[in-house]
Structure 1
């Protein structure tokens, strides 16, 4: 009804969700031009990440304009025969949102942030997130066992894990990690609260794509619990380390960063390859110049 009633000239879709794919198809049927923000990310393995890889490939086939966050993303699109004049390298809008939100949350913290800040005190903090479908089952069991070992090895550090609501995540996390004194399992957070928690953390262990991009702008090393990533720029820049769901690798890389101050400092000061916070401005200027 929105497409039929409003009949937009341009429809903007973002990223690689199933909503993104469905909206791009609906906009195509409506003969609106599709503008894909965060375009060109690829693993070229349709099963990993699932279903995001196919979502973004389908969207990429339909899109009229592709706002690629990096040169690598642009290269992926050119290999798929997308005309160069339809691609703009913008940086990623997630960095725009992050930099704006950091200032906002520091100026006006929520009641939850105030409580967390009080509960955490002076402890060094490790932030964990995990939700990906490909890690369900044995993968999450290995992840939780690794976190338990890290917690027992580093009792002076506090691990905070906002636990995804999916029962396939909740069950192993609560079974293996509940009751460990220096692991805090909390409900999922609002975006600005999560930004505060990232900024407060020493390092981050995650399977999230977005966090791979956000955390380096805050100077936070990231261990990525995935075997493949559509964001190879971060790996190449050294701002993230791929550890998959290998228990021993998660433990060893985490402890290495915590115990090796030189390596930690070097990783935390590396340049974020995903932009300068001006992606939205570049997108708007491009669209304004369309005939």
Structure 2
């Protein structure tokens, strides 16, 4: 029997791995184990509860003021004993977090095969996004099976001399999770009673390290000006817990009419909020895939993206962090209904909700 260990530590990782973990658990010829590092404790637990996943191991590594070095060391140390004990045929990691790279390295040290879900994303700038770009590139150097979400991702891997037979284009598992969750609904009027839902909702998320400081301030100022100049809008910002984000958000956006600073949401209400939004402004990677699947245009608050397929498809626009440009592009979409419809109706290139099954089929073929 094949033994597979799935490892993740943050909420985005958990969301994208959940449908794969659930499907693995139903395979009669695979023994599936789940390890969480809890790199982000509270937000991770919300997803585990929503998808009814009970980890077999919980490293619980999160510490106040943790550094990248600290996370790396604690993941390596914690996984060593688990991998030695379980002796898996394959360790599955996801995406580009520090947990991802550290877990792949721990598996390599124990000579266990590595499967990389969402492989091949690249910006080709090692400091943007930081540290994610190098996390995924270093993970790729260790990986045995690369589960690429798109043809573009596969092309990136081929340029790095990864053998073609080691790459499988699967679509992205986040679409699997999103479509399952979006079929449900959540009473947002009860959760957010101060919001006027008859207005156009602008959903803002921003937290990336490379945006801390002045770039984040520019984002907040532009968002505030958009809400001021378009009275039929309301902005909702689930504020990240990091003080570098929350303190600045409160300085610039708090106590502003039609702007709502709220606590981070569980995944189900967040998907419902995304589904009811008019426009998404984000520096997140995953939301560049998720929001277009719901027909929501996305303005990407970053200078680079590892998801050029979305730009080429017309589902997202790169606006960076310049205050004037963000305001200009946002205002155009709020004023020009034709431009808005073109983005909203563009075809999302990230999959059909069946990525998890393709990944499991590839694992079975590999070990057959």
Tell me if structure 2 keeps the 8 A contact 1:125–1:203. Answer: yes
Query: Which structure 2 residues correspond to residues 37-48 of structure 1 after superposition, within 5 A?
Result: 37-48=117-128
Partners of 1:201 and 1:186 lie apart in 2 by: 15
For the pair 1:250 / 2:326, whether they are aligned, the reply is yes
CA contact 1:113–1:193 (8 Å) conserved in 2? no
Residues 199-238 of structure 1 mapped to structure 2, 5 A cutoff: 199-238=275-314
CA offset digits 1:24-64 (Å, max 9, x no partner): 00001111110000000011111000000000001000000
SS of residue matched to 1:95: helix
**Corresponding residue number in structure 2 for 1:11:** 91
Matched, 1:197 2:258: no
Moved >2 Å (runs of 4+): 112-121
Counterpart Cα distance in 2 of 1:278 and 1:113: 32
How many aligned residue pairs are there?
287
Identify the match of residue 166 of structure 1 among 242, 258, 275.
242
1:128 to 204, 227, 248: 204
1:70 counterpart residue number:
150
Structure 1 position 200, deviation (Å): 0.6
Contact 2:195 2:234 in 1 (8 A): no
Deviation for aligned residue 1:113? 6.2
The one of 138, 141, 145 aligned to 1:58: 138
Question: TM-score, normalising length from structure 2?
Answer: 0.76
**Compared CA separation, residues 151 and 119, structure 1 to 2 (3 A):** closer
For normalisation by structure 1, the TM-score amounts to: 0.96
- The Cα RMSD (Å) is 1.2
C-alpha displacement at 1:118, in angstroms? 7.4
* Structure 2: segments with no counterpart, 5+ residues: 1-80
CA distance in 2, matches of 1:212, 1:226: 11
After TM superposition, the structure 1 stretch with the greater mean CA deviation from structure 2, 115-124 or 251-260, is 115-124
- Kindly indicate whether the alpha-carbon contact (under 8 Å) linking 1:216 and 1:272 is maintained by their aligned counterparts in 2: yes
- Say whether the 8 Å CA contact 1:113–1:196 is kept in structure 2: no
Among candidates 233, 238, 247, match of residue 157 of structure 1: 233
Task: Report the Cα distance in structure 2 between the residues aligned to 1:27 and 1:184, rounded to whole angstroms.
Answer: 43
Partner-residue secondary structure (3-state), 2:182 = helix
Structure 2: how far apart are the matches of 1:176 and 1:118? Answer: 19
Q: Which runs of 5+ in 1 are unaligned?
A: none
Deviation at 1:4, TM superposition (A): 1.3
Distance of 1:72 and 1:96 partners within structure 2: 20
SS of the aligned residue for 1:209 comes to coil
- Partner-residue secondary structure (3-state), 1:75: helix
Whether 1:137 aligns to 2:217 is no
Identify the residue that residue 148 of structure 1 maps to in structure 2. 224
Query: Paired residue for 2:360, among 281, 284, 289?
Result: 284
Deviations 1:179-235 (CA, angstroms, capped at 9, x unpaired): 111100001111111111100100100000000010100000000000000101111
Question: Which runs of structure 2 are paired with 1:29-44 in the superposition (5 Å)?
Answer: 29-44=109-124
Tell me, in whole angstroms, the C-alpha distance in 2 between the residues paired with 1:181 and 1:224. Answer: 24
Q: Which has the higher contact order (CA 8 A, sep 6+)?
A: 1
